[in-house]
Amino acid sequence: MRFDLSANGFADTDVRADAWAVIGADRALRWHELSEQAHAWASLARAHGFAADVPVIIRGHKEAGFFVAMVGALLLGAPFVPVDTIYPDERMQRIASTLGAQMYFDAHRGRFVSVSGQGAWIEFDAVEGEEGSISESESASTSASGSGSTFASTSMASPSASGSTSISTASTAPTPPALHEKNLAYVLFTSGTTGEPKGVQIGRESVAALADWMVADFALGDAPVFLNQAPFSFDLSMYEVFGTLALGGTVVLASRALTAQGAAFLTTLARHGMTTWVSTPSFAQQQLLNPQFSQDGLPALRTFLFCGEVLPVALARQLRQRFPSARIINTYGPTEATVATTWIVVDDAVLAHHARLPIGHAKRDAEVFVDAGELCIAGAHVMRGYLNREDLNAARMFTHNGQRAFRTGDLGAVDGDGLLFCHGRIDDQIKMGGYRIELMEIDAALRALPGAASAAAVPLRRPDGSVARIVAFVATGNDDGRLPDALHDWKTLLAARLPSYMIPSELLACRSLPVSVNFKIDRVQLAQDYRDVHFKAQRQHNA
- Give the range with max mean pLDDT: 116-120, 174-178, 237-241, 530-534: 237-241
Whether residue 164 has pLDDT greater than 60: no
Pairing outcome for strands 56-60 and 80-84: parallel
Least-confidence region, from 170-179, 401-410, 527-536: 170-179
Last residue of a domain, one of 374, 403, 425: 425
- Per the domain annotation, does 131 fall within a domain? no
Measured distance CA(397)–CA(16) in Å, rounded: 43
Whether residue 209 has pLDDT greater than 80: yes
Measured distance CA(532)–CA(16) in Å, rounded: 62
Shared domain check, 469 and 349 = no
CATH assignment at residue 516: 3.30.300.30
Shared domain check, 112 and 213 = yes
Whether residue 415 has pLDDT greater than 50: yes
CB 71 within 8 A of CB 186: no
- Per the domain annotation, does 42 fall within a domain? yes
Q: Could you tell me where the DSSP H helices lie in 77-165?
A: 89-99, 136-139
Shared domain check, 476 and 414 = no
- Per the domain annotation, does 405 fall within a domain? yes
- Per the domain annotation, does 477 fall within a domain? yes
Shared domain check, 394 and 247 = yes
Shared domain check, 470 and 361 = no
CATH assignment at residue 210: 3.40.50.12780
Least-confidence region, from 79-83, 139-143, 310-314, 483-487: 139-143
Residue 536: pLDDT band (50, 70, 90) is confident
Shared domain check, 507 and 409 = no
Shared domain check, 190 and 90 = yes
**Averaged pLDDT for residues 466-494:** 91
pLDDT at 434 (0 to 100): 87
Q: Could you tell me where the DSSP H helices lie in 182-251?
A: 204-217, 238-247
CB 239 within 8 A of CB 214: yes
Residue 385 pairs in a beta bridge with 201
Measured distance CA(371)–CA(375) in Å, rounded: 6
- Per the domain annotation, does 523 fall within a domain? yes
Residue 341's domain comprises 2-120+176-425
Residue 121: pLDDT band (50, 70, 90) is very low
* Number of domain units in the chain: 2
- Per the domain annotation, does 128 fall within a domain? no
Shared domain check, 294 and 193 = yes
Q: What percent of the chain has pLDDT over 70?
A: 87
Closest CA to 359 of 381, 377, 371, 372: 377
Residue 174: pLDDT band (50, 70, 90) is confident
Whether residue 162 has pLDDT greater than 60: no
CB 293 within 8 A of CB 287: yes
- Per the domain annotation, does 516 fall within a domain? yes
Pairing outcome for strands 250-253 and 276-279: unpaired
Pairing outcome for strands 303-306 and 276-279: parallel
pLDDT, tens digit, for every residue of 326-359? 999 999 999 999 999 999 999 999 999 998 899 9
pLDDT at 195 (0 to 100): 66
**CA distances (Å), origin 183, targets 8, 52, 201, 270:** 11, 8, 10, 38
pLDDT at 192 (0 to 100): 65
First CA to last CA across the chain, in angstroms? Answer: 69
Least-confidence region, from 107-111, 405-409, 539-543: 539-543
pLDDT, tens digit, for every residue of 237-285? 999 999 999 999 999 999 999 999 989 999 999 999 999 999 998 889 8
Last residue of a domain, one of 369, 391, 425: 425
Shared domain check, 492 and 410 = no
Shared domain check, 304 and 229 = yes
Q: Find how far residue 497's CA is from the centre of its chain.
A: 19
Residue 300: pLDDT band (50, 70, 90) is very high
pLDDT at 411 (0 to 100): 86
Residue 161: pLDDT band (50, 70, 90) is very low
Mean model confidence pLDDT for the chain = 87
Measured distance CA(406)–CA(367) in Å, rounded: 11
Shared domain check, 225 and 84 = yes
Measured distance CA(424)–CA(467) in Å, rounded: 10
For residue 289, the number of C-alpha atoms closer than 13 Å in the C-beta half-sphere is 8
Beta strands in 222-357 (DSSP E): 225-228, 250-253, 276-279, 303-306, 327-332, 342-345
pLDDT at 43 (0 to 100): 94
Burial pattern 108-135, b for ≥16 Cβ within 10 A else e, equals eebbbbebeeeeebbebeeeeeeeebbe
pLDDT at 240 (0 to 100): 98
Whether residue 421 has pLDDT greater than 90: yes
CB 65 within 8 A of CB 112: no
- Per the domain annotation, does 56 fall within a domain? yes
Whether residue 213 has pLDDT greater than 90: yes
Shared domain check, 464 and 385 = no
Measured distance CA(58)–CA(69) in Å, rounded: 7
Q: What percent of the chain has pLDDT over 90?
A: 66
- Which residues, other chains included, contact 146 with Cβ-Cβ below 8 Å and sequence gap of 6+? 18, 19, 20
- Residue 95 CB neighbour total at 10 angstroms: 25
In the DSSP assignment, the letter for residue 329 is: E
Residue 141: pLDDT band (50, 70, 90) is very low
Number of H helices, E strands in the chain: 15, 29
Last residue of a domain, one of 425, 444, 467: 425
Provide the 3-class DSSP secondary structure of residue 459: strand
Q: Could you tell me where the DSSP H helices lie in 218-262?
A: 238-247, 256-259
Closest CA to 197 of 91, 105, 103, 337: 91
Residue 181: pLDDT band (50, 70, 90) is very high
Residue 471 pairs in a beta bridge with 458, 506
**CA distances (Å), origin 503, targets 159, 318, 333, 506:** 45, 30, 25, 9
**CA distances (Å), origin 131, targets 29, 134, 244:** 14, 8, 26
**CA distances (Å), origin 211, targets 44, 239, 311:** 28, 8, 23
